[in-house]
Structure 1
Amino acid sequence: MLLLNSTAIYTVVTYTPKHKEIWNAFITKAKNATFLFHRDFMEYHSDRFTDFSLLVFKEEKLMAVLPANIKDRVVYSHQGLTYGGLVVEEKLGFGYINDIFDAIKEFLKATGIVELRVKQLPEIYQKKPSNELYYLLSKGSVLDTQMVFAVDYSTPLRIHKTKQKYFRQGVQQGFVIKKEQVFDAFWNDVLVPRLQYKHNASPVHTLAEITLLQYKFPENIYQYNIYLEEELLAGITIFETDQVVKSQYGATTEAGERIRAFDYLFLYVINSYKDKKKYFSQGTATESNELGYNPGLVKQKEELGCSIYLQHIYSYTL
Structure 2
Amino acid sequence: MALVLHALPARCLVRKSEGCLMVDAIQVRPYSPEMRADWNEFLQKSRTPLFMFERDFMDYHADRFHDASLVFYRGNSMLAVFPANCCDGTVYSHQGLTYGGLITTVNAKSTDIESAFSVMATHYRAAGMHSVIYKKVPWCFSVNFCEEDIYFLHRQGAKLIRRDLSSVIDLISRPKLSDSRKNLLKKAAARSLVCMPLDDVEVFHALLSTALVKHNAVPVHSPAELQLLSNRFPEKLRLHGVYLDGELLTAACLFDFGRIVHTQYLAASQTARQIGAMDYLLETLIHRATSDGKNFFSFGISTEDAGKYLNQGLIAQKEGFGARGLAVDFYEWNL
Same fold (TM over 0.5): yes
Mapped partners of 1:182, 1:130: distance in 2: 38
In structure 1, stretches of 5+ residues that fail to align are 1-5
In the alignment, is residue 115 of structure 1 matched against residue 131 of structure 2? Answer: yes
CA drift at 1:92? 1.3
**Identity over aligned residues, as a percent?**
32
* Residue aligning to 2:177: 159
Asked if 1:48 is matched to 2:64, the reply is yes
Report runs of 4+ in structure 1 exceeding 6 Å deviation.
none
CA contact (8 A) 2:162 2:306 kept: no
Over 3 Å counting, the alpha-carbon distance change for 1:84 and 1:306 in structure 2 is same
Q: Which residue of 1 aligns with 2:268?
A: 252
The residue type paired with residue 201 of structure 1 is A
Query: Which of 269, 278, 281 is matched with 2:298 structurally?
Result: 281
Partner of 2:147: 131
Gaps (5+ residues) in structure 2? 1-11, 13-22
SS of the aligned residue for 2:63 comes to coil
Q: Which residue of 2 aligns with 1:234?
A: 250
Count of equivalent residues: 312
TM-score normalized by the length of structure 2: 0.89
Residue 314 (structure 2) pairs with residue 297 (structure 1)? yes
Q: Which amino acid is the alignment partner of residue 44 of structure 1?
A: Y
The 3 A distance-change label for structure 1 pair 181 and 124 is farther
Please tell me whether the aligned partners of residues 83 and 93 of structure 2 are also in contact (alpha carbons under 8 angstroms).
yes
Deviation at residue 203 of structure 1 after TM alignment: 0.7
Alignment of 1:1-318 (within 5 A): 8-138=24-154, 139-188=157-206, 190-196=207-213, 198-275=214-291, 276-288=293-305, 291-318=308-335
Shift of 1:9: 2.1
SS in 1 for 2:174: coil
Following superposition, the deviation at residue 157 of structure 1 comes to 3.6
**In structure 1, distance between residues paired with 2:87 and 2:49:** 24
What's the TM-score, normalizing by structure 1?
A: 0.94
The question of whether the paired residues in 2 share the 8 Å contact of 1:181 and 1:214 is answered with no
Once superposed, what is the RMSD of the aligned Cα atoms? 1.7
1:281-313 CA-partner distances (Å, limit 9, x unpaired):
000012129942211111111112110011110
Displacement of 1:165 after TM fit?
2.1
In the other structure, the counterpart of 1:3 is: none
SS where residue 274 of structure 1 aligns? helix
Matched residue type, 2:222: T
CA displacement, residues 174-218 of structure 1 (integer Å, 9 cap, x when unaligned): 101112333221211x1111211x111101111111110000000
